[in-house]
Structure 1
Amino acid sequence: MTQNIDQVFAALADPTRRAILAMLLEDDMAVTDVAEPFEMSLAAISKHLGVLTNAGLISQEKRGRVKWCKLEPDAMRDASIWMQGFGQFEPVNLDAFERFLAQELPEGLSQHEKDDT
Protein backbone atom coordinates (compact mmCIF):
# COMPACT_ATOMS: atom_id res chain seq x y z
CA MET A 1 0.00 0.00 0.00
CA THR A 2 2.81 2.46 0.85
CA GLN A 3 4.45 2.12 -2.57
CA ASN A 4 1.11 2.73 -4.28
CA ILE A 5 0.45 5.84 -2.19
CA ASP A 6 3.97 7.10 -2.90
CA GLN A 7 3.41 6.68 -6.64
CA VAL A 8 0.01 8.38 -6.48
CA PHE A 9 1.35 11.39 -4.58
CA ALA A 10 4.40 11.62 -6.85
CA ALA A 11 2.12 11.59 -9.89
CA LEU A 12 -0.17 14.22 -8.37
CA ALA A 13 2.76 16.48 -7.49
CA ASP A 14 2.95 17.80 -11.04
CA PRO A 15 0.40 20.42 -12.21
CA THR A 16 0.41 19.08 -15.77
CA ARG A 17 -0.55 15.62 -14.54
CA ARG A 18 -3.30 17.07 -12.34
CA ALA A 19 -4.63 18.97 -15.35
CA ILE A 20 -4.63 15.77 -17.40
CA LEU A 21 -6.61 13.99 -14.68
CA ALA A 22 -9.11 16.84 -14.62
CA MET A 23 -9.54 16.55 -18.38
CA LEU A 24 -10.13 12.82 -18.09
CA LEU A 25 -12.91 13.39 -15.55
CA GLU A 26 -15.11 14.31 -18.51
CA ASP A 27 -14.48 11.26 -20.69
CA ASP A 28 -11.84 8.98 -22.18
CA MET A 29 -9.50 10.86 -24.50
CA ALA A 30 -7.05 10.03 -27.26
CA VAL A 31 -3.43 10.83 -26.36
CA THR A 32 -3.30 13.47 -29.10
CA ASP A 33 -6.38 15.18 -27.62
CA VAL A 34 -4.82 15.10 -24.17
CA ALA A 35 -1.68 16.75 -25.57
CA GLU A 36 -3.50 19.47 -27.52
CA PRO A 37 -3.95 22.14 -24.80
CA PHE A 38 -0.36 21.85 -23.54
CA GLU A 39 2.61 23.68 -24.97
CA MET A 40 4.92 20.67 -24.88
CA SER A 41 5.89 17.84 -27.17
CA LEU A 42 3.87 14.68 -27.57
CA ALA A 43 6.86 12.82 -26.09
CA ALA A 44 6.67 14.96 -22.95
CA ILE A 45 2.93 14.33 -22.61
CA SER A 46 3.57 10.60 -23.12
CA LYS A 47 6.03 10.70 -20.24
CA HIS A 48 3.42 12.33 -18.00
CA LEU A 49 0.88 9.72 -19.10
CA GLY A 50 3.37 6.98 -18.25
CA VAL A 51 3.75 8.33 -14.72
CA LEU A 52 -0.04 8.45 -14.31
CA THR A 53 -0.36 4.93 -15.71
CA ASN A 54 2.37 3.54 -13.43
CA ALA A 55 0.57 5.09 -10.45
CA GLY A 56 -2.65 3.40 -11.58
CA LEU A 57 -4.43 6.74 -11.95
CA ILE A 58 -5.16 6.16 -15.64
CA SER A 59 -5.19 3.24 -18.02
CA GLN A 60 -4.18 3.36 -21.66
CA GLU A 61 -5.71 1.23 -24.38
CA LYS A 62 -4.94 1.05 -28.06
CA ARG A 63 -8.05 1.17 -30.23
CA GLY A 64 -6.99 0.74 -33.82
CA ARG A 65 -4.17 3.20 -34.40
CA VAL A 66 -5.19 5.49 -31.56
CA LYS A 67 -4.11 5.19 -27.93
CA TRP A 68 -6.84 6.18 -25.49
CA CYS A 69 -6.55 7.27 -21.86
CA LYS A 70 -9.13 6.52 -19.20
CA LEU A 71 -9.30 7.82 -15.63
CA GLU A 72 -9.04 5.12 -12.94
CA PRO A 73 -10.40 6.96 -9.87
CA ASP A 74 -10.17 3.94 -7.56
CA ALA A 75 -6.39 4.36 -7.59
CA MET A 76 -6.79 7.40 -5.32
CA ARG A 77 -8.74 5.46 -2.71
CA ASP A 78 -5.75 4.52 -0.49
CA ALA A 79 -4.33 8.03 -0.71
CA SER A 80 -7.73 9.50 0.11
CA ILE A 81 -8.12 7.21 3.13
CA TRP A 82 -4.62 8.18 4.30
CA MET A 83 -5.46 11.90 4.02
CA GLN A 84 -8.76 11.46 5.86
CA GLY A 85 -6.75 10.17 8.81
CA PHE A 86 -5.52 13.72 9.36
CA GLY A 87 -9.09 14.95 9.75
CA GLN A 88 -8.37 18.16 7.84
CA PHE A 89 -9.19 16.94 4.38
CA GLU A 90 -12.28 15.90 2.54
CA PRO A 91 -11.89 12.78 0.40
CA VAL A 92 -9.57 13.58 -2.51
CA ASN A 93 -9.43 17.31 -1.73
CA LEU A 94 -6.00 17.50 -3.30
CA ASP A 95 -5.91 21.29 -3.47
CA ALA A 96 -6.23 21.49 0.32
CA PHE A 97 -3.57 18.83 0.71
CA GLU A 98 -1.22 20.72 -1.63
CA ARG A 99 -1.71 23.92 0.40
CA PHE A 100 -1.03 21.97 3.61
CA LEU A 101 2.20 20.55 2.20
CA ALA A 102 3.32 23.95 0.92
CA GLN A 103 2.93 25.35 4.46
CA GLU A 104 4.48 22.42 6.29
CA LEU A 105 7.42 21.37 4.12
CA PRO A 106 10.68 23.32 3.97
CA GLU A 107 11.41 25.12 0.70
CA GLY A 108 14.36 22.83 -0.11
CA LEU A 109 12.12 19.79 -0.25
CA SER A 110 9.81 21.42 -2.77
CA GLN A 111 12.78 22.09 -5.05
CA HIS A 112 13.97 18.49 -4.57
CA GLU A 113 10.55 17.21 -5.66
CA LYS A 114 10.76 19.40 -8.78
CA ASP A 115 14.14 17.88 -9.60
CA ASP A 116 12.70 14.35 -9.34
CA THR A 117 9.93 14.98 -11.88
Structure 2
Amino acid sequence: MNLPHCRRRDVHPIGRHEVPAVRDAWRSALGSGRVGVVNGDCGPRNAIVDTRGRCVLIDWDEARVDDPLFDLPSDELEQRAAWAWEIATCWSTEPVYAKSLIGHLTW
Protein backbone atom coordinates (compact mmCIF):
# COMPACT_ATOMS: atom_id res chain seq x y z
CA MET A 1 0.00 0.00 0.00
CA ASN A 2 1.32 3.41 -0.91
CA LEU A 3 1.04 6.16 1.63
CA PRO A 4 0.46 9.23 -0.52
CA HIS A 5 0.42 11.61 2.44
CA CYS A 6 4.01 10.58 3.14
CA ARG A 7 5.17 10.30 -0.44
CA ARG A 8 3.89 13.75 -1.31
CA ARG A 9 4.36 15.37 2.08
CA ASP A 10 4.76 19.11 1.77
CA VAL A 11 8.34 19.71 2.82
CA HIS A 12 8.76 23.24 1.45
CA PRO A 13 9.37 24.84 4.88
CA ILE A 14 12.44 22.61 5.32
CA GLY A 15 15.76 23.99 4.19
CA ARG A 16 16.43 23.26 0.52
CA HIS A 17 19.57 21.28 1.37
CA GLU A 18 17.68 19.00 3.75
CA VAL A 19 14.71 18.17 1.50
CA PRO A 20 16.56 15.54 -0.60
CA ALA A 21 17.76 13.70 2.52
CA VAL A 22 14.25 13.66 4.00
CA ARG A 23 12.67 12.41 0.76
CA ASP A 24 15.40 9.80 0.28
CA ALA A 25 14.80 8.45 3.78
CA TRP A 26 11.07 8.08 3.08
CA ARG A 27 11.59 6.45 -0.33
CA SER A 28 14.03 3.95 1.14
CA ALA A 29 11.63 2.58 3.73
CA LEU A 30 8.02 3.25 2.78
CA GLY A 31 5.92 1.11 0.51
CA SER A 32 5.95 -2.07 2.59
CA GLY A 33 2.17 -2.24 2.40
CA ARG A 34 1.87 -2.30 6.17
CA VAL A 35 -0.59 0.07 7.73
CA GLY A 36 -2.05 0.44 11.20
CA VAL A 37 -2.67 2.85 14.03
CA VAL A 38 0.54 4.45 15.22
CA ASN A 39 0.99 6.46 18.39
CA GLY A 40 3.35 8.88 16.67
CA ASP A 41 5.46 9.38 19.78
CA CYS A 42 6.04 5.85 21.01
CA GLY A 43 8.84 5.61 23.52
CA PRO A 44 9.65 4.99 27.17
CA ARG A 45 8.53 8.44 28.32
CA ASN A 46 5.06 7.74 26.92
CA ALA A 47 4.60 4.30 28.45
CA ILE A 48 3.26 3.86 31.97
CA VAL A 49 2.30 0.87 34.07
CA ASP A 50 -1.26 1.10 35.32
CA THR A 51 -2.58 -0.12 38.68
CA ARG A 52 -3.23 -3.59 37.20
CA GLY A 53 0.36 -3.94 36.01
CA ARG A 54 -0.39 -3.35 32.33
CA CYS A 55 1.85 -1.24 30.13
CA VAL A 56 -0.21 1.59 28.65
CA LEU A 57 0.78 4.06 25.94
CA ILE A 58 -0.15 7.67 26.62
CA ASP A 59 0.21 10.91 24.63
CA TRP A 60 -1.86 10.08 21.55
CA ASP A 61 -1.98 13.61 20.10
CA GLU A 62 0.22 12.53 17.14
CA ALA A 63 -1.71 9.30 16.47
CA ARG A 64 -2.68 8.44 12.91
CA VAL A 65 -3.16 5.56 10.51
CA ASP A 66 0.24 5.04 8.93
CA ASP A 67 3.12 2.62 8.45
CA PRO A 68 4.05 1.04 11.81
CA LEU A 69 7.70 1.89 11.17
CA PHE A 70 6.99 5.31 12.62
CA ASP A 71 6.48 3.72 16.06
CA LEU A 72 8.65 0.63 15.84
CA PRO A 73 11.33 0.87 13.14
CA SER A 74 12.83 -2.56 12.54
CA ASP A 75 16.02 -1.61 10.69
CA GLU A 76 18.23 1.35 9.76
CA LEU A 77 16.16 2.32 6.70
CA GLU A 78 12.98 2.45 8.73
CA GLN A 79 14.72 4.40 11.49
CA ARG A 80 15.91 6.97 8.92
CA ALA A 81 12.32 7.30 7.64
CA ALA A 82 11.08 7.84 11.19
CA TRP A 83 13.75 10.52 11.78
CA ALA A 84 12.78 12.16 8.47
CA TRP A 85 9.15 12.30 9.60
CA GLU A 86 10.17 13.86 12.90
CA ILE A 87 12.28 16.46 11.10
CA ALA A 88 9.53 17.31 8.61
CA THR A 89 6.79 17.65 11.21
CA CYS A 90 8.90 19.69 13.65
CA TRP A 91 10.68 22.00 11.19
CA SER A 92 8.26 24.92 11.49
CA THR A 93 7.36 24.66 15.17
CA GLU A 94 10.67 23.41 16.63
CA PRO A 95 13.35 24.34 14.07
CA VAL A 96 16.34 24.02 16.42
CA TYR A 97 15.25 20.52 17.45
CA ALA A 98 14.50 19.51 13.83
CA LYS A 99 17.89 20.76 12.61
CA SER A 100 19.60 18.84 15.41
CA LEU A 101 18.18 15.61 13.96
CA ILE A 102 19.53 16.05 10.41
CA GLY A 103 22.63 14.02 11.27
CA HIS A 104 20.41 10.94 11.67
CA LEU A 105 19.70 10.97 7.92
CA THR A 106 23.31 10.60 6.85
CA TRP A 107 25.10 7.29 6.66
The TM-score normalised by the length of structure 1 is 0.28
Bigger helix share: 1
Structure ranking higher on relative contact order (CA contacts 8 Å, 6+ apart) = 2
